[in-house]
Chains A and B, each alone.
Chain A
Amino acid sequence: MNSMIIGKYVPGTSIVHRMDPRSKLIMVFFYVFIVFLANNVETYAVLMIFTFSLILLSRIPLSFIIRGLKPIFLVILFTFLLHLFMTKEGELLYRLGWFEIYEQGVKQGVFISLRFLSLIIVTTLLTLTTTPIEVTDGVESLLSPLKKFNMPIHELALMMSISLRFIPTLMEETDKIMKAQTARGVDFSGGSFQERIKAIVSLLVPLFINSFKRAEELATAMEARGYRGGEGRTKFRLLTWKTADTALIVSLILLAIILFILRS
């Protein structure tokens, strides 16, 4: 559980860390669509080069990312196998009884897995290099035009930052309660169906109760410190758009153009 890195922030001073959260958010948002432009070997190669350049620039060890994404690899493997067995196009490569593997199956499997991997890595890089506070500031700033239509953008951003802020706390607490219950004889890794249910209940009940308590305390503390909502509230951190941010957006546009030209 501790090795899971989705949503975690790794402090650093790389160029990616110092970028404006808005440019990173825009990048991730459009990347999700751009990825679908890839449909052949060349385009997927370009996609992979782009992904790994980003990792290099962020100076986060590749091994750390790979280890942190281990649980995701299972999902990717599953998708790969699904495509491998279900696609029945192209040349027949292998047959064992009813079990057949086609050329297109292999291709589709690899492509979809790469697409998935690239998406996960790029979105994970966003959170790895951007503090939750920056992410929410970015979101709030990007969505602020919607305030004109009476959308509660500030409130949404606040909700988001609070949830992000409490993910590590919740993980820590899960760990703590699991340990406490293990010490009382609960076995979280085995046992009969009934025992498992009981184990999960012994974890979830304290977890929920503590979360509700914490939410209440947080609300009280915010009120006590004079929080009255977003109206007229100034910012402690101001976002600044730098050359690197423009460069990121430009490279994203270039990526899209290259993919568009190379795709078949």
Chain B
Amino acid sequence: MDIVFKDVEHRYHTNTPFERRALYNMNLSIASGSYVAIIGHTGSGKSTLLQHLNGLLQPTNGTVHIGDQIITNAKKPKHLKPLRKKVGIVFQFPEHQLFEETVEKDICFGPVNFGIPEEQAKKMARELLPLVGLPEEVLTKSPFELSGGQMRRVAIAGVLAMEPEVIVLDEPTAGLDPQGRKEIMEMFYRLHQEKKLTTILVTHSMEDAAKYADEIVVMHRGTVVKTGTPKEIFREPNTLLEIGLDVPETILFQKKLEEKFGVTIDSPCLTMEEIVEEAKKLFAKVRKNDE
């Protein structure tokens, strides 16, 4: 399912003193099967953008195409259920949506709503647990007995159990420990590769964006200021730094190196290996010149 935003604008509380433009001039296309990271300062409209992906919000102007479904500001579209099954959203702090008596029931809640038979949903819940890093014992526990991180994993499993074609992740690892973060991010990346799952990730971690995404969308104050591959985006770290965003540590290090030695390194280094390689080359050259 390709996703295309055309001149999308979204205002909250239209026609009230509280009116507020959260998105404008949004043009964006996300190809089926790609991994897109959306980065942007807090309040730049990322979560608002995500809610357009399954019709939770309608644009106040412009159109959103998701597969063959078109969403505009015209009257509330009906029959959004099939769309919502295909686009699974893991919201910011998804643990707040848990409510069933047992973890198993909560994971099955989504799929059963979408008409998947209960037995099959239960089977899926069992299979998903190791994937999100939970032991099987938790199935019969109440979700509220779990730790925050474990609740997060249950919520994620609950969305994965819907077997969506597009998975939308709103800062899925905020507040998790570094190990847990890495596990979860790796898990999503594997799913993306194995099942060709279109993945849209909102993140404040530039490292994650650089590492996993095919394409990065930079948002600022409600609109897209830049899109491109991680290399393209991080080639000019200054644009990002100007709008208050971070860049990966390796890029910062590269910048320092370049300034110190008065050279330019052709391609931006996004991983530790790359930067080490470049630094080695540079030092070798410097040593040679010294001799």
Contacts and interface: CB of A to CB of B under 8 A. Distances in A.
Given A2-B13, A176-B91, A184 B99 contact: no
B91 A206 contact: no
B97 A177 contact: yes
A201 to B, nearest CB: 7
Given A10-B17, A176-B91, A209-B144, A183 B84 contact: yes
Interface stretch (B107-115, B190-198, B273-281): B107-115
A262 to B, nearest CB: 36
A184 B158 contact: yes
B88 interface: yes
Interface string B213-245: 000000000000000000000000000000000
A182 B144 CA distance: 21
A186 B1 CA distance: 23
Interface string B64-104: 00000000000000000100110111010010111100000
Nearest to A201: B99
A107 to B, nearest CB: 35
The secondary-structure label for the interface of chain A is: helix
A187 B16 contact: no
Contacts of B13: 2-3
Interface in B32-65: 51, 54, 56
A180 B94 contact: yes
A232 interface: no
Contacts of B247: none
B269 interface: no
Interface in A189-230: 201-202, 205-206, 209-210
Contacts of A187: 81
Interface in A1-32: 2-3, 10
Contact of A184 (B15, B16, B113): B113
Interface residues of B, number: 29
Determine the main DSSP class of B at the interface with A. mixed
A61 B17 CA distance: 9
B128 interface: no
Contact of B97 (A10, A64, A181): A181
B4 interface: no
B99 A183 contact: no
A183 B91 contact: yes
A184 B99 CA distance: 12
A67 B15 contact: yes
A4 B113 CA distance: 30
Contact of A180 (B12, B15, B96): B96
Given A183-B84, A183-B91, A185-B110, A202 B51 contact: no
Contacts of B113: 184-186
A185 B16 contact: no
A186 B111 CA distance: 11
19 contacts: A2-B13, A3-B13, A3-B16, A10-B17, A64-B16, A67-B16, A176-B91, A176-B96, A177-B97, A180-B89, A180-B94, A182-B84, A184-B159, A184-B162, A185-B81, A185-B113, A202-B99, A206-B96, A209-B99
Interface of A: 2-3, 10, 60-61, 63-64, 67-68, 173, 176-177, 179-187, 201-202, 205-206, 209-210
Interface of B: 12-13, 15-18, 51, 54, 56, 81, 84-85, 87-89, 91, 94, 96-99, 109-110, 113-114, 144, 158-159, 162
Given A10-B18, A183-B88, 4 more contacts: A63-B15, A184-B97, A184-B158, A184-B159
Closest 8 CB pairs of A and B: A185-B113, A205-B99, A180-B97, A184-B110, A183-B89, A185-B114, A179-B56, A180-B91
